[in-house]
Chain A
C-alpha cells in the first residue's frame, strides 16, 4: 500500500512553455502533499506544501506565480511550471501524507525529470 505515482516521468519542453506534473496517491487519501526539487547530486529542497482544498504554502524563495500548485482532490496534486526556462530544468519529486495529525510518514513518488530547451 501507500503508493504515489507521478506523471510524466520525464518531459522535455521548449523555453517559454508551461508544463504540468501530476502527483497521485493511488491507494490512500492524501490531505497533504509536498513538492520537492532536486538538482543533480544535491539534496531535496521543499518547494511547497499542498493541502487539499486550500492554497499551497510556498517555501521562502519559491515563486508562487511560476510554480502553480493545485490540490483539487484527496488523491491528486498538480505542479505547473509556467513559462519554463532552462534554469527550471530539474528533478521534481512529490510526496503524500496520510490524513491525521498522528501520521508521520511521507510516501514519495518516483519523480519527474524536466528538461527545458
Chain B
C-alpha cells in the first residue's frame, strides 16, 4: 500500500515571501500521479497542482511549483510571492496510474499561515 508523509504540521510565511512544503511518499509502482490540494477554512478541497510520475519536468502553475524527485520519492510544493489567501491546509496526495484503483491517498496535511 502507498503511504504519503507530510512532516511539517504547521508552517508560517510572510506575505510576498516564498515557502516550501515537504511531502514524501512510498510506493512500489513506477507510474502514478501526485497532487497538492489546498483546503481553506471553507473546507472545499481545491486542486493546486499535479505531477505525472513519467514526466521529469517539474509542474508549475503560476506562483506554485513542485520539486519532484522520483528516486527520492519526494514531492515538495513551493509557493512564491505568498498571499494572505494562500493560508490554508495543504494536502499532498498520491494516485495510482489510470487503469488501476483510482483512489487518492492523502498525507496528514500542513497548515500554512501567512503573516503580514
User: Which A residues contact B (CB, under 8 angstroms)?
Assistant: 32, 34, 38, 42-46, 49, 91, 93, 95, 97, 101-106, 108, 110-111
Contacts and interface: CB of A to CB of B under 8 A. Distances in A.
Given A93-B45, A105-B47, A32 B102 contact: yes
Interface residues of B, number: 20
Contact of A104 (B43, B45, B95, B105): B95
Nearest to B6: A43
Contact of A101 (B95, B98, B104): B98
A44 B105 CA distance: 9
A113 B50 CA distance: 28
Given A103-B98, A105-B47, A43 B109 contact: yes
Contacts of B75: none
Nearest to B97: A104
A42 B108 contact: yes
